[in-house]
Chain A
Amino acid sequence: MCKFAKFLLKLLAVGLVLNVGLFCVFFFDLDGKLLFNVVEPFLKKHYDDMERKDTLQAPYDMNKYPKYEYDT
């Protein structure tokens, strides 16, 4: 068997395994389960713990902005 054919076979085999593997992930909703049970709780915790500025302290200057009015 020539090298190219072997390579093709290997490629096919890898492709097949990859396809079967991905199909299992798809069919058994492993992506959803990972995201729901691991990724989202981790990120939620991160966002909950994040330091946030107190937006109520934001300045509110009464005269800062002009009246936007134009000739039309």
Chain B
Amino acid sequence: MRDLKHLIYFENLLQEANNDLVKQAKADGKRAIGYTCFFMPEVLLDLPGCFSVRLRAPRCTSPDIATYYMSSRVCHYARSLMERALEGGFNFLDAQMATETCTATCRFQEHLQQKHLDSVKDMRIIDNDDFYCEFIDVPFKKTKISYEHYAEQLRVHVLGTLHEHFGIDVSDEAVLQAIEQQNEVSRLINEIGEYRKLDNPTITGYEFHVIQLVSLVCPKYLILPYLRETAEEMKTREPDLKKEFRCKVVLAGSENDDPDFTKLIESCGARVVCDRYCYGAVESRRIIEVKEGEDPVMAIARHYLDASNCPRFMPQDEMRARKKHLAELCKEYKADGLIVASNKFCEYWSYERVIDTVIMRRDFGIPVCSIEKEYINSASGQLRTRFQAFIESVEIKQIQEGK
């Protein structure tokens, strides 16, 4: 396939958190608001006057000081973020909007917070006098009282503090404007992602991963022109005459902001056609709908709880339904198999991976490759062997089924 025009530019944007577009937005006088988890609605951090940056720590292989603070037995992602913060890599942030949705990232964000207590020192990791860190509580259910609670948390802790600290306009009109902007990004990403459903997709999983990531880590208003252009470019992009892959897979699992991981899978002969993991597009790029007369913050609360299939949800019907949803994704994207990858020390996905590995194969007939990985995958040789073996097994299954 012909190279995408902006791919190298996008790749460069992913090399560090404080990328060119972030610098440009800061120069435009906008406030940079960091976050880590899907449950901190990025749309509220993209209000006029500020922009969201989903934190990553690319190329962080040895988080030594963070390991002193958080020990070596905590998820590498959280430690890498901490290391990057300690190195000064996040000093451009004006605020961190935090969630206690997983223990490790919660602890990382608590280190950033100025607590003003006698009992524990403040580390002033983010060297920015304006910086503050605020937490919200995120419910574990998708019920009426959960929506209401979540909406209230967003109003008080996100909108309230953004207005108080930076005078951000948090009116309904401003929120609706941010929703419109986010929906445009989502529509473009979905449009680009649709090409993955073709029998011979005209976009690779790696390319899509890069595009999705830039939409999370760059100011929306600055990345949008590039996304529009890429979507246009995709309309005329021709596939390779000969398929470059041997099977299609859905990639599900925990935090994954490493496009090289997707590249690794694809270099073994698979094509990643769907990304159902933290930082993936399946959930984060769903269109936010605001019903007639509905409070936009309530609409956002409902959207973010309903859209998520995070293993954090614990009602019985939800725990079971998300397996079904995963199977539906495999069908929708015509995938031949499923790769479930969890980061080492991620407790949610360690368990979910076990169940998915059994249930998806047993009850839905979907071949599953179950992987435990690091944030930065230095052990790529071992993973390569696993993926190659899996792809071969999927091929054998296809031959046996006469496909």
Measured CB to CB, the residues of A under 8 A from B are 56, 60-69, 72
Q: Which residues of B contact A60 (CB under 8 A)?
A: 320, 323, 359, 363
Smallest CB gap from A61: residue in B: B320
Residue contact B315 to A62, C-beta cutoff 8 Å: no
* A37 vs B315: C-alpha distance when bound (angstroms): 46
Residue contact A65 to B143, C-beta cutoff 8 Å: no
Q: Does B358 contact A (CB under 8 A)?
A: yes
Q: Which residues of A contact B358 (CB under 8 A)?
A: 56
Residue contact A62 to B324, C-beta cutoff 8 Å: yes
Report which of A56, A65, A72 forms a contact with B316, defined as CB distance below 8 A. A65
Interface size class of B (residues with CB under 8 A): 10 to 19
Q: Does B317 contact A (CB under 8 A)?
A: yes
Smallest CB gap from A59: residue in B: B363
Smallest CB gap from B142: residue in A: A67
Residue contact A72 to B320, C-beta cutoff 8 Å: no
Smallest CB gap from A60: residue in B: B359
Measured CB to CB, the residues of B under 8 A from A are 143-145, 315-317, 320-321, 323-324, 358-359, 363
Residue contact A69 to B323, C-beta cutoff 8 Å: no
Report which of B143, B144, B145, B320 forms a contact with A62, defined as CB distance below 8 A. B320
Q: Which residues of A contact B317 (CB under 8 A)?
A: 65-68
Residue contact A67 to B323, C-beta cutoff 8 Å: no
Tell me, rounded to whole Å, the shortest Cβ–Cβ distance linking A28 to chain B.
Answer: 44
Residue contact B145 to A65, C-beta cutoff 8 Å: no
Q: Which residues of B contact A56 (CB under 8 A)?
A: 358
Q: Which residues of B contact A65 (CB under 8 A)?
A: 316-317, 320
* A66 vs B320: C-alpha distance when bound (angstroms): 11
Residue contact A62 to B323, C-beta cutoff 8 Å: yes
Q: 12 A-B pairs, CB-CB below 8 angstroms? A: A56-B358, A60-B359, A60-B363, A62-B320, A65-B317, A65-B320, A67-B315, A67-B317, A68-B315, A68-B317, A69-B143, A69-B144
Residue contact A68 to B324, C-beta cutoff 8 Å: no
Q: Which residues of B contact A66 (CB under 8 A)?
A: 317
Residue contact A62 to B316, C-beta cutoff 8 Å: no
Smallest CB gap from B324: residue in A: A62
Q: Which residues of B contact A63 (CB under 8 A)?
A: 320
Tell me, rounded to whole Å, the shortest Cβ–Cβ distance linking B156 to chain A.
Answer: 21
